[in-house]
Chains A and B, each alone.
Chain A
Amino acid sequence: MKAQTVPPNTMQRLRRNIGKALHHGDRIWQWLTIGAGIGVALLLLGIGWMLWRDSADARSAFGLGFLAPTADASWNPVLDKFEAWPFIYGTLITSAVALLLAIPISVGIGIFLAELCPSWLRLPLGWMLELLAAIPSVVFGLWGIFVFLPEVVEPLGTFLAGTLGLLPGIGALFAGPIPASGASRLAAALILTIMIVPTISAVTRDVFLAIPRSQREAAYALGATEWETISQVLVPYGLSGVLGAVILGLGRALGETMAVTMVIGNSIGGAVSLLRPGYTMSSIIANEFAEAVSRLHSQALIEIGFLLFIVTLLVNMAARFLVWRVARRTPQEGRA
């Protein structure tokens, strides 16, 4: 392996010049780096394996029915009967709404930062978004409980219940009333939106910045306006990268725990409405794992953790792949 990567002439010189002891030192160094590399790679497998092992009883007891969508799922520690659908639904609906809101905002920000904003403003704006991403989750939760929920979510929820909630079909998603504290799936979705916008917009910006200048020049030469250049040339060109950014945001939304647990109301509800309290996969683990006494109960929670692990694994792999593809396709020219 060494011979492949270090130029042969260097190797010869090394061989000639250094004593045995130092060569020995290099061996140790090499093994250390390889060991650390293997350790990092194994860590991921280890996490997956441990969660898989520790959920064996729950998997054999509940089978695939554990994950199946049911209108009347039971999560019953008294009878030791567990079905995870309410939490899967909660995670899916809050993440979906968060993405729906975050995509236009983040892509807008990405475009603004990469294409339009004056260069002296780009750096500070980018920083501010990164600061937003750096604020700890619990601080979002605290602010959510005492400020955001009563002042934004509750009035918004009441408004939605009185308008969209009356529509047939989709109205079920907005059936009111929202609890007066505002704690609801909607609250979780909105907080998630705020939390994933920085992630998506930062990657989108980078994707746009990586698009070669020639693409833009060609569009302008054909007489396109800036917006036409962006929407008809740049967005299609960077689409897979933007998609990657969105999926990366989805990954963050799926796994977010503390802020969601603090604002979602923690109710294993049968109701589908966004305006009712609910649970997500991560928040049920946070609330119940330390207290789950029966073996099946804690194993059911570990199984949810395993599921969360696998889903975020797939999501992140997909995102990396997409972003990576854009980066690789982009020739060296760049935009300097």
Chain B
Amino acid sequence: MGKKMFLVMTGLCTAVLLSACGTAAPATVEVTRSVNQTVVVTPTADPNAAAPLPAGSVQINGAGATFPLPVYSAWTFAYQYVDPSVVINYQGIGSGGGKKAIIDGTVDFAGSDSLLKDEEYTSGKDLQMYPMLAGAVVPIYNIKWAKEIPSGTKLPVMILDRQTLVDIYNAKVVTWNDAKILATNPDLAEYLPGEAITAVHRSDGSGTTEIFTKSLTAFSPEWTAGGASAVEWPVDKAGNGMGGKGNQGVAAAVINTPNSIGYVELSYAVSNGMSYASMVNKAGKIVVASAESMSSAMSDFAGSFSEKLTADIVDAPGALSWPIAGYTYIILHTENMSDCIKAQKLLEFLRWALTDPGAAKQASDLGYSVLPEDVRDTVLGKLGEVTCNGTVLLP
């Protein structure tokens, strides 16, 4: 992995749209830390801004999904240079944990890629989900090849079709040299071992699991365990399942377990140099998880956002579309946030994350897809409706 550069062009633009940010180019301040991360910050351009609060005086706590954790960590790290008064603590405890925490009121905001159920909206009263990003879930694998790979050659990436993936997690395909896997991978035939497949899944309540199992449900009627943040895994019952905590836990389990398969958000696979499979999508085309296949999946479902600002984008029909994809959301209380300064700072951070080109670059560098512009504008509009003690917070 090595060193990473963050280049964050920021401007707390009062205007909502990108164009405003693009035109204003005041002097930039460059902050270089000893860890070789360069953060370029433009000072806040808001002429109406009140006197700045002392550094670190507003502590915002969030928790939830590990799906967007890499990018949220990058954002919160960069944001300390944008608005030093704010410290944002985001703990990746799983989407389920995030939902529980925001309903119980133990955090200021939650991250989740699992949708709130109706009764959860009711028990949490004024909850609202705001999509932040979209991401691809990819099958990662770690195989101890049956045969020595000749030096200088590189094995092709494994290709799985939708039914085979369902069969693996249903414990119907149990060895790597199963005919169904061989069918889509003739080039790997002599390398795939006859060893049992250990199928790794999440051990915590997870939106990644929800995206994955919703996809499996769409892929095949044989998947009967349902699509939710935690399910009863058929592969567990067969004794071939294994659980990992968080996206990182699944990735770690796959790394530590030869002949295993798992599913994680794309950035975890990319940043750890793991092999991830290509898929045969609904249109019968082989696709690789990428920015293009993600935006194709998003546009397949353009306009499908519900009133609650949620949408499923699994098993997209387009020829170029990645089949296992989903949005990740921030959950907020829209009326009952206890501390108005905190609420205001939180909304400003979210607006920065959605509009700042540097933030967007960080996201796409990590393998996430930013929202299409119309969706983003809807989200910004909705964020503008959040109130504290009856006052609108974002001007």
Asked if the two chains touch in their complex, CB atoms less than 8 Å apart, one says yes
Measured between beta carbons, the chain A residues less than 8 angstroms from B100 are 290-293, 298
Which chain A residues numbered 78 to 118 have a C-beta less than 8 Å away from chain B? 78-79
A78 contact from B101, B228, B242, Cβ within 8 A: B228
A51 interfacial contact with B, CB 8 Å? no
Measured between beta carbons, the chain A residues less than 8 angstroms from B99 are 293
Alpha-carbon distance A292/B99, docked complex (angstroms): 9
Q: Is the CB of B243 within 8 A of A78?
A: no
Measured between beta carbons, the chain B residues less than 8 angstroms from A268 are 232-233, 236-237, 241
Q: Is the CB of B204 within 8 A of A287?
A: yes
Question: How would residues 266 to 299 of chain A score, 1 for a CB under 8 Å from any chain B CB and 0 otherwise?
Answer: 1111110100110000000001101111000010
Q: How many residues of A contact B (CB 8 A)?
A: 34
B244 contact from A74, A150, A266, A293, Cβ within 8 A: A266
A145 interfacial contact with B, CB 8 Å? yes
Which chain B residues numbered 221 to 277 have a C-beta less than 8 Å away from chain A? 225-226, 228-233, 236-245, 253, 256-260
Q: Is the CB of A78 within 8 A of B232?
A: yes
Alpha-carbon distance A136/B34, docked complex (angstroms): 32
A157 interfacial contact with B, CB 8 Å? no
Alpha-carbon distance A269/B196, docked complex (angstroms): 16
Alpha-carbon distance A76/B232, docked complex (angstroms): 5
Q: Is the CB of A271 within 8 A of B238?
A: yes
The stretch among B89-97, B147-155, B301-309 that forms the contact with chain A is: B89-97
A265 contact from B97, B196, B237, B243, Cβ within 8 A: B243
**B interface vs A, CB < 8 Å?**
93-97, 99-101, 103, 120, 144, 195-196, 198, 203-206, 225-226, 228-233, 236-245, 253, 256-260
Classify the secondary structure of A's interface with B.
loop
Q: Is the CB of B241 within 8 A of A267?
A: yes
Measured between beta carbons, the chain A residues less than 8 angstroms from B96 are 291-293
Measured between beta carbons, the chain B residues less than 8 angstroms from A228 are none
Measured between beta carbons, the chain A residues less than 8 angstroms from B93 are 290-291
Question: How would residues 244 to 269 of chain A score, 1 for a CB under 8 Å from any chain B CB and 0 otherwise?
Answer: 00000000000000000000011111
A181 contact from B205, B206, B232, B257, Cβ within 8 A: B257
Most chain A beta-carbon neighbours within 10 Å: one of B144, B233, B241: B241
Q: Is the CB of A77 within 8 A of B231?
A: yes
- What are 9 A-to-B residue pairs whose CB atoms are below 8 Å? A77-B229, A180-B260, A181-B198, A181-B256, A183-B257, A268-B233, A270-B237, A291-B95, A293-B96
Q: Is the CB of A145 within 8 A of B256?
A: yes
A291 contact from B198, B204, B226, Cβ within 8 A: B204
B243 contact from A175, A273, A287, Cβ within 8 A: A287
Q: Is the CB of A273 within 8 A of B253?
A: no
Alpha-carbon distance A149/B258, docked complex (angstroms): 13
A273 contact from B101, B229, B239, B242, Cβ within 8 A: B239
Q: A180-B144, A287-B245, A292-B100 are in contact. Are A271 and B239 (CB under 8 A)?
A: yes
Measured between beta carbons, the chain B residues less than 8 angstroms from A148 are none
Q: Is the CB of A293 within 8 A of B241?
A: no
A155 interfacial contact with B, CB 8 Å? no
Q: Is the CB of A78 within 8 A of B225?
A: yes
Q: Is the CB of B230 within 8 A of A181?
A: no
Measured between beta carbons, the chain A residues less than 8 angstroms from B103 are 293
Alpha-carbon distance A149/B253, docked complex (angstroms): 12
